[in-house]
Amino acid sequence: MTNADIELLVIELQFGDRAALGKLYQHFHVAMRKYALMRVKDSMVADDLVQNVWAKIAKRVTRLNDVSLFKSWLYKALRWEIIDWYRASRNEVLLDENIPEKTIELVFSEPLSPLRHLFTLPAKERDVAELFYLNDLNIKEISLVAGIPLGTVKSRLHRARTLLKKRISDTE
């Protein structure tokens, strides 16, 4: 689905077309679930968090003035939902340096040998690289989701690429 298709669906949703919500849900659900699962490490909790976000999106979509920002708005809502869940459960927000192999296999059932190196990156670089490569967000959208300047996104993405190249070449 192209960005233009997404924007049209968001506009239709803003005018009350619930079928547009279903199409957006189908398009983003799997990626959002993977994003949440990598952070909470529990599939049931991840499903609940994603559902909560969609319920909030359905109620608040009319507040979104710039429909081109929908994707970043959606992931930022999910990010805040995860942070709120951690606060409510009195856990610290996941900034783990290493994600267990079991969690990676749970999220990605298909063999992804080069992609496995992504999850060995330091947390800040991993988060930016995951949003860029796995969730197809551009640099501006990542900046909005993570709440960091564009330059910081670019430098973290550059560091992530450099580390990934090194780790992939070391394993070959």
Task: Please determine, for residue 103, whether its predicted confidence score (pLDDT) is greater than 60.
Answer: no
Categorize the per-residue pLDDT at 98 as very low, low, confident or very high, splitting at 50, 70 and 90.
low
pLDDT tens figures, 109-139: 555 556 677 778 888 898 898 888 888 889 9
Domain ranges across the chain: 1-94, 103-172
Give the count of beta carbons closer than 10 Å to the beta carbon of residue 127: 23
pLDDT of residue 89: 81
pLDDT of residue 93: 47
pLDDT of residue 53: 95
Lowest mean pLDDT among 24-38, 48-62, 95-109: 95-109
Mean pLDDT of the 64-77 span: 91
Architecture of domain 1-94: Orthogonal Bundle (1.10)
Give the span between the Cα atoms of 164 and 55, in whole angstroms: 36
Q: What is the pTM of this model?
A: 0.73
Give the span between the Cα atoms of 72 and 135, in whole angstroms: 10
Give the span between the Cα atoms of 15 and 90, in whole angstroms: 39
pLDDT of residue 101: 53
Pick one of 3.40.50.740, 3.30.70.20, 1.10.10.10, 1.10.357.10 as the CATH number of 103-172. Answer: 1.10.10.10
Task: Please determine, for residue 94, whether its predicted confidence score (pLDDT) is greater than 70.
Answer: no
